[in-house]
């Protein structure tokens, strides 16, 4: 009997320990998910992502956690990571419709059009009436330039689902792309008539009015949006930014100040305070920006947002060494980001660290090869250091991505001057004239050509 007890007691103790560990894991997972959801509600995407990644280490075979991480990565622009987690979610749960749909749109955004349609077809196999999957197929056609086919599909779906707001919004968007503005307007107005309480309807209508130049109607639409959800800080930012973008700085800043005073939690909302600081810097209110930056630093102890904005404030104040340190700290605290490396490179260049600036801009381009500003600044750096061929390659890349980028054409013209390619330079001037470049800049370029032909030393980079 004693020998039996000797065997049973350790087994019971081990069993209790295992049960206790399992309960601890469940509690930890539940707590992390709750914390992540709260951070999501506050639009603190990076902090929420960190929580979900910790939760995933507790339960690595959770399709839902992989899906949630993929969703945040997509929002943050980390498409490769988003696809990796969403593919894992689909592998773990092949019928996970939300993951299939999200993965489809990630494929669409990365030009993997066939893969996107495969995801849509997989959803339709399980649910033939799934409108979102059919919309994905329509978007796939639109992304590949088949706008009329996409519109035809939307019209067919509307016959079966005449009250579906998403279908009507897509109808408006596609008509707008096809420059059928009357049809687009009719679609957006119909959305307002059948779903006046849906915020997306007013957002779409405001965007349409801005395109048509009807700023007062756009303003009314955004005000209605804020009336529908007066405590939604995202909509407050959209209205405030509308005023800033239309030259009404005081009105825009007043929207932000009013929100800080009247909306509960606005003065402790990390993303909103960060946006307020950007607005203050835009309006050259550096002292007030510094006050809010201190507040943000106290709220965002482990995040990089306060350091990122501190970097911008330091740039505004001409403290380039401080800017370099701030952007480096922001990079240390966050995921790799093309924007952070771009501004680090800018701060390094302004501080005289040419080699480091070159490395930072190359890293920004590794993360995002289509980052036009990084291409332009790196091209300018190569031009100043005498590497005309490398500069020319970068500028041609920038122009292929954004054919109307005036700065790219100006830099290319200057580069051609440096190589004494007079005929190519003259062709570049003609193109700049078509882009409605300021006549004074065109005249300066012609003067620079004259000086270069006569072997006079010039510093043309001031044109930018």
Tens-digit pLDDT profile for residues 38-71: 877 766 777 788 888 888 888 889 999 999 999 9
d(CA 173, CA 179): 10
Q: Which of 195, 228, 261 is the last residue of a domain?
A: 228
CATH number at residue 384: 1.25.40.10
pTM given for the model: 0.66
Asked whether the predicted pLDDT for residue 132 surpasses 80, the reply is yes
Is residue 257 included in any domain, yes or no? no
- CA distances 174 to 167, 208, 211, 262, Å, are 11, 12, 14, 39
Work out the pLDDT band at 461, boundaries 50, 70, 90. very low
For residues 68 and 164, state if they share a domain: no
Lowest mean pLDDT among 154-163, 320-329, 339-348, 383-392: 383-392
For the cut 50, the answer to whether the pLDDT of residue 381 exceeds it is: yes
Is 359 domain-assigned? no
Q: How far apart are CA 361 and CA 398, in angstroms?
A: 14
> Are 41 and 136 in the same domain?
yes
Give the domain extent around 393: 369-464
pLDDT digits (tens, 9 = 90+) for 386-444: 777 787 788 778 777 777 666 665 666 565 555 565 555 555 555 545 445 556 655 65
In a domain, 345, yes or no: no
Evaluate whether residue 350 is within a structural domain: no
152-176 burial, b at 16+ Cβ within 10 Å, e below that, comes to ebbeebbeeeeebbbbbbbbbbbbb
Residue 450 shares a structural domain with residue 430: yes
Which of 199, 228, 257 is the last residue before a domain boundary?
Answer: 228
Q: Where are the alpha helices (DSSP H) in 110-164?
A: 113-126, 131-143, 147-160
Last residue of a domain, one of 95, 124, 144: 144
Regarding whether 447 and 373 lie in a shared domain, the answer is: yes
Note whether 458 and 374 are same-domain residues.
yes
Confirm whether 67 is domain-assigned: yes
Counting the structural domains of the chain, the total is 3
User: What is the reported pLDDT for 226?
Assistant: 94
Give a yes or no: residue 304 inside a domain. no
On average, the pLDDT of the chain sits at: 81
Please indicate, yes or no, whether residues 31 and 127 belong to a single structural domain of this protein. Answer: yes
Q: Does one domain contain both 31 and 136?
A: yes
So what's the pLDDT on residue 50? 85
């Amino acid at each position: 009997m004693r020998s039996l007890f000797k065997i049973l007691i350790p087994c019971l103790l081990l069993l209790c320990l295992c049960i206790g560990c399992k309960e601890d894991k469940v509690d930890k997972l539940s707590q992390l998910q709750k914390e992540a959801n709260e951070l999501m509600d506050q639009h603190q995407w990076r902090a929420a992502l960190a929580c979900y990644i910790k939760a995933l280490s507790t339960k690595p075979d959770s399709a839902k956690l992989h899906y949630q991480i993929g969703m945040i990565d997509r929002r943050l622009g980390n498409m490769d990571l988003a696809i990796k987690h969403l593919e894992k979610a689909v592998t773990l749960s092949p019928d996970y419709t939300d993951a299939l749909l999200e993965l489809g749109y990630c494929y669409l955004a990365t030009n993997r059009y066939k893969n996107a349609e495969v995801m849509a077809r997989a959803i339709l196999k399980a649910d033939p009436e799934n409108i979102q999957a059919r919309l994905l197929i329509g978007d796939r056609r639109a992304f590949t330039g088949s706008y009329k086919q996409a519109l035809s599909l939307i019209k067919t779906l509307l016959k079966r689902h005449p009250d579906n707001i998403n279908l009507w919004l897509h109808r408006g968007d596609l008509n707008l792309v096809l420059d059928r503005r009357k049809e687009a307007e009719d679609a957006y107005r119909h959305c307002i008539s059948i779903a006046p309480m849906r915020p997306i309807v007013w957002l779409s209508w405001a965007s349409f009015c801005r395109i048509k130049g009807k700023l007062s109607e756009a303003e009314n639409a955004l005000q209605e949006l804020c009336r529908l959800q007066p405590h939604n800080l995202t909509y407050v930012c959209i209205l405030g930014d509308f005023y800033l973008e239309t030259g009404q700085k005081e009105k825009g800043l007043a929207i932000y100040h009013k929100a800080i005073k009247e909306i509960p939690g606005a003065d402790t909302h990390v993303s909103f305070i960060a946006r307020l600081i950007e607005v203050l810097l835009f309006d050259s209110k550096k002292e007030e920006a510094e006050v809010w930056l201190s507040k943000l630093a106290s709220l965002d102890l482990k995040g990089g947002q306060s350091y990122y904005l501190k970097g911008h404030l330091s740039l505004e104040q001409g403290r380039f060494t401080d800017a370099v340190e701030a952007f480096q700290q922001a990079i240390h605290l966050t995921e790799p980001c093309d924007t952070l490396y771009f501004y680090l490179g800018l701060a390094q260049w302004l501080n005289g660290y040419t080699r480091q600036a070159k490395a930072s801009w190359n890293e920004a381009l590794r993360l995002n090869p289509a980052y036009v500003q990084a291409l332009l600044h790196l091209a300018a750096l190569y031009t100043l250091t005498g590497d005309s061929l490398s500069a020319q390659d970068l500028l041609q890349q920038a122009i292929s991505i954004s054919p109307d980028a005036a700065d790219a054409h100006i830099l290319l013209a200057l580069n051609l001057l440096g190589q004494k390619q007079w005929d190519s330079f003259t062709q570049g001037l003609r193109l700049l004239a078509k882009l409605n470049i300021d006549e004074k800049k065109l005249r300066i370029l012609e003067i620079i050509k004259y000086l270069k032909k006569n072997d006079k030393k010039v510093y043309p980079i001031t044109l930018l």
